Amino acid sequence: MVVGIMIQTEEFETVLWTRRGPVAEIRLNRPHRLNAVVEQLYKDVLSALDAAEADPDARVVTLTGEGRAFCVGADLKEHGKGERTAYDRRRYLELGNDVCQRIYEFPKPVIAAVNGYAAGAGAEMSISSDFIVMKASAQLWLPEISIGTHVGGGVTEILPRIVGLAKARELILTGTRIDGTEAHAIGLATRVFDDDSFDDGVREFAALIGSKAPISMRHAKENLNAAQRDYKSRLTTELNALLECMLTEDWQEGVDAFAEKRDPVFKGR
């Protein structure tokens, strides 16, 4: 038990959910299969995100993996059984899209803490997150084209916005693996940490994000992700967000804290 920090847990079949202070952690928990995706894992991630959204004390979510992998993509052992009907296959793929869309549109910031291999669906969930932080030794790649399938989760929309079209083409069409250092160099990873300092680094970064004003962050994320908006539309949505923020207690707290030369304590209202 960490003194002074509220710890809360939820139980799911394939993920671990824990909140410490403002940080809710969703940990993929199929380490015997390197956290490879099965239908239940997708369902559990969606349920864990629902729990994090419903918890007013959860300001930021970290998504990571148990063991030596983040997530190596689809569990090909399950695919290889050949027991899925065409409907089952489509439903499974739709679940993958649902998870990535939920992460991308989640009203609170999501940090993908890539602790090891992140391939296929694991890379897609990471790219859908607001931030990727990686171990220096972790590896991320998109192998779909190399095995005769296709990327999903909105990656062809999101990835070029992060790393540029040419680099996105390279990563998707060649399936090249990149480690944490290279991911940081091309702007895909926000932070990269030595393996020994990874856990501390993730906690510090999540705590930094979690200390900010929740309503302001929700509006900022929504505006940043709305790629379809033109400049004039964005001016309007930013103005509306600013006006709403100015009606909150947190806005007054920010003003008071600035005047009093102290750190603000936001309450999300």
List, in order, residues 6 or more apart from 160 with CB less than 8 Å away: 168
Active site annotation includes 244 = no
Active site annotation includes 13 = no
Point out the catalytic residue in the list 83, 105, 144, 244.
144
Point out the catalytic residue in the list 78, 124, 249, 253.
124
Place of tokens 């729990």: 51
Residue (of 203, 228, 150) closest to 18 by Cα position? 203
| Pairing mode of beta strands 110-114, 60-65 | parallel
List, in order, residues 6 or more apart from 2 with CB less than 8 Å away: 20
Alpha-carbon distances, residue 172 vs 114, 127, 136, 176 (angstroms)? 19, 12, 21, 8
Instruction: Report the alpha-carbon distance of residue 262 to residue 223 in Å, rounded.
Output: 28
SS3 for 193? Answer: strand
Annotated catalytic sites, by residue? 124, 144
